[in-house]
Amino acid sequence: MGRRRKRVATGDGVPSPRKEEKAPAPPRKEKKKKTDIGKVFINISIGLCIFSLIWFFYALYMRSSLARRVVTLHPSPRVLDANSSSPAVSPERYWGSYRPQVYFGMKTRSPRSVVTGLMWMHQFAEMDGNLRHTCEQGDHLLGYGWLMHDGVSFGVQEIHDRDFTLTTEFVKRMGGDHGGDWTWRITAKQHGTALSTPVVSLMFYASTDGQGSLQAHVEEKNRVSSVTGTSEELGNFKITFGKPTAGEGASAKYARYNFLQTRSPGLDKLTDIVKNSLNHKFIFSPPKGEKRSYFAVDTYKVTNHQNQQNDPKMESDFVVHQVTVQTPFQIEVLFESGSFRERPNQLVGSVLTDELEKRKVAFDEKFEATFGLQAKGFTSSHIKFAKAALSNMLGGMGYFFGPSVVQSVYNEHPVLYPEGPLFTAVPSRSFFPRGFLWDEGFHQLLLSKWDTQLTQEVFAHWLDLINIEGWIPREQILDDEARSKVPSEFIVQHNENANPPTLFLALQELLEQLDAELVSSQTMLPFLRKLYPRLQVWFEWFNTTQVGPVPNSYRWRGRDKDTNLFLNPKTLTSGLDDYPRASHPSADERHVDLYCWMTLASGVMANVARILGEPHQVYENTHRSLSNNDLLNELHWSENLHAFSDYGNHTQAVSLQQEKVFVPPGQPRHQFPVARLVRSVRRAPKLQYVNALGYVSLFPFLLHILTPDSPKIEHILQAIKDPERLWTPYGLRSLSRADPLYMKRNTEHDAPYWRGPIWININYLAVRALHHYGSIEGPYKEKAATLYQELRTNLMNNVYKQYLETGYIWEQYNDSTGRGQGSHPFTGWSALTVLIMAEKY
Ligand X SMILES: *[C@@H]1O[C@H](CO)[C@@H](O)[C@H](O)[C@H]1NC(C)=O
Nearer to ligand X, 593 or 815 (CB): 815
Q: Which stretch binds ligand X (CB under 6 A): 103-111, 189-197, 270-278, 615-623?
A: 615-623
Nearer to ligand X, 502 or 812 (CB): 812
Nearer to ligand X, 333 or 472 (CB): 472
Q: Which of 577, 614, 620, 839 is catalytic?
A: 577
User: DSSP class of residue 33?
Assistant: H
How distant, in Å, are the alpha carbons of 100, 102, 403, 448, 648 from that of 483?
A: 14, 15, 11, 29, 36
Cβ neighbors of 697 (< 8 A, separation 6 or more) are 592, 641, 643, 644, 645, 716, 719
Q: Which stretch binds ligand X (CB under 6 A): 234-242, 450-458, 581-589, 787-795?
A: 581-589
Looking at 116, 187, 543, 546, which residue binds ligand X (CB under 6 A)? 543
Q: Which stretch binds ligand X (CB under 6 A): 116-124, 481-489, 508-516, 815-823?
A: 815-823
> What's the CA dihedral at 820, 821, 823, 824 to 10 degrees?
20
Decide if residue 802 touches ligand X (CB under 6 A): no
Decide if residue 817 touches ligand X (CB under 6 A): yes
Looking at 276, 586, 628, 747, which residue binds ligand X (CB under 6 A)? 586
Judge whether 75 and 468 are in contact, CB under 8 Å.
yes
Looking at 36, 81, 634, 714, which residue binds ligand X (CB under 6 A)? 81
Decide if residue 821 touches ligand X (CB under 6 A): yes
Of 35, 10, 37, 11, give the one whose Cα is nearest residue 25.
35
Q: Supply the minimum distance, in Å, between the C-beta of residue 497 and ligand X.
A: 19
Cα 93 from Cα 80, distance rounded (Å): 15
The DSSP element (H or E) to which 273 belongs, if any, is helix 270-277
Q: Supply the minimum distance, in Å, between the C-beta of residue 599 and ligand X.
A: 12
Judge whether 146 and 391 are in contact, CB under 8 Å.
yes
Nearer to ligand X, 293 or 563 (CB): 563
Looking at 125, 142, 348, 687, which residue binds ligand X (CB under 6 A)? 687
Q: Supply the minimum distance, in Å, between the C-beta of residue 67 and ligand X.
A: 27
Judge whether 133 and 272 are in contact, CB under 8 Å.
no
Nearer to ligand X, 194 or 618 (CB): 618
Amino acid identity at 601: A
Cα 385 from Cα 804, distance rounded (Å): 8
Q: Which stretch binds ligand X (CB under 6 A): 333-341, 364-372, 583-591, 777-785?
A: 583-591
Cα 766 from Cα 835, distance rounded (Å): 13
How distant, in Å, are the alpha carbons of 25, 91, 176, 454 from that of 88?
A: 84, 6, 10, 17
Residue 179, judged by CB atoms within 10 A of its CB (0-12, 13-18, 19+), counts as: buried
Looking at 248, 588, 614, 750, which residue binds ligand X (CB under 6 A)? 588
**825 preceded by cis ω (within 30°)?**
yes
Nearer to ligand X, 786 or 821 (CB): 821
Looking at 619, 637, 689, 800, which residue binds ligand X (CB under 6 A)? 619
Decide if residue 546 touches ligand X (CB under 6 A): no
Q: Supply the minimum distance, in Å, between the C-beta of residue 83 and ligand X.
A: 4
Q: Supply the minimum distance, in Å, between the C-beta of residue 588 and ligand X.
A: 6
Decide if residue 83 touches ligand X (CB under 6 A): yes
Decide if residue 631 touches ligand X (CB under 6 A): no
Q: Supply the minimum distance, in Å, between the C-beta of residue 186 and ligand X.
A: 35
* 577 catalytic per annotation: yes
Decide if residue 187 touches ligand X (CB under 6 A): no
Decide if residue 82 touches ligand X (CB under 6 A): yes
Q: Which of 181, 332, 593, 811 is catalytic?
A: 811
Q: Supply the minimum distance, in Å, between the C-beta of residue 792 and ligand X.
A: 23
Looking at 245, 404, 574, 622, which residue binds ligand X (CB under 6 A)? 622
Q: Supply the minimum distance, in Å, between the C-beta of residue 176 and ligand X.
A: 15
Residues 493-532 that bind ligand X (CB under 6 A): none
Nearer to ligand X, 110 or 327 (CB): 110
Decide if residue 584 touches ligand X (CB under 6 A): yes
Nearer to ligand X, 184 or 813 (CB): 813
How distant, in Å, are the alpha carbons of 368, 393, 831 from that of 801?
A: 22, 19, 14
Nearer to ligand X, 220 or 232 (CB): 232
Decide if residue 565 touches ligand X (CB under 6 A): no
Q: Supply the minimum distance, in Å, between the C-beta of residue 601 and ligand X.
A: 9
Q: What sections of 372-401 are H helices per DSSP?
A: 380-395
Looking at 814, 823, 827, 830, which residue binds ligand X (CB under 6 A)? 814
Number of residues that bind ligand X (CB under 6 A): 21
> What's the CA dihedral at 745, 747, 753, 755 to 10 degrees?
-40
Nearer to ligand X, 105 or 752 (CB): 752
Looking at 473, 757, 820, 825, which residue binds ligand X (CB under 6 A)? 757
How distant, in Å, are the alpha carbons of 104, 330, 345, 359 from that of 348?
A: 19, 12, 9, 15
Q: Which stretch binds ligand X (CB under 6 A): 28-36, 309-317, 699-707, 812-820?
A: 812-820
| 3-class SS shares of the chain: helix, strand, coil, % to 5 | 40, 20, 40
Cα 129 from Cα 322, distance rounded (Å): 16
Cα 502 from Cα 505, distance rounded (Å): 5
Decide if residue 649 touches ligand X (CB under 6 A): yes
Cβ neighbors of 771 (< 8 A, separation 6 or more) are 784, 788, 839, 841
Judge whether 242 and 332 are in contact, CB under 8 Å.
yes
Decide if residue 816 touches ligand X (CB under 6 A): yes
Of 20, 75, 1, 81, give the one whose Cα is nearest residue 526.
81
How wide is the angle at C-alpha 193 spanned by C-alphas 189 and 199, nearest 5°? 45
User: DSSP class of residue 82?
Assistant: T
* 336 catalytic per annotation: no
Farthest CA pair distance, the chain: 121
Cα 521 from Cα 452, distance rounded (Å): 12
Decide if residue 685 touches ligand X (CB under 6 A): yes
Q: Which stretch binds ligand X (CB under 6 A): 50-58, 76-84, 213-221, 230-238?
A: 76-84
| Binding letters toward ligand X, positions 737-756, x by CB under 6 A | ---------------x----
Judge whether 121 and 211 are in contact, CB under 8 Å.
no
How distant, in Å, are the alpha carbons of 152, 418, 466, 770, 837 from that of 453?
A: 12, 26, 21, 29, 23
Q: Which stretch binds ligand X (CB under 6 A): 78-86, 351-359, 446-454, 521-529?
A: 78-86
Looking at 491, 612, 618, 678, which residue binds ligand X (CB under 6 A)? 618
Of 23, 211, 204, 185, give the one whose Cα is nearest residue 108.
211
Q: Supply the minimum distance, in Å, between the C-beta of residue 616 and ligand X.
A: 9
Give the CA count within 13 Å in the CB-facing half-sphere of 737. Answer: 14
Nearer to ligand X, 117 or 685 (CB): 685
Decide if residue 689 touches ligand X (CB under 6 A): no
Nearer to ligand X, 52 or 816 (CB): 816
Nearer to ligand X, 64 or 817 (CB): 817
Cα 494 from Cα 407, distance rounded (Å): 5
The DSSP element (H or E) to which 676 belongs, if any, is none
Residues annotated as part of the active site: 577, 811
Residues that bind ligand X (CB under 6 A): 81-83, 543, 547, 584, 586, 588, 602, 618-619, 622, 649, 685, 687, 752, 757, 814, 816-817, 821
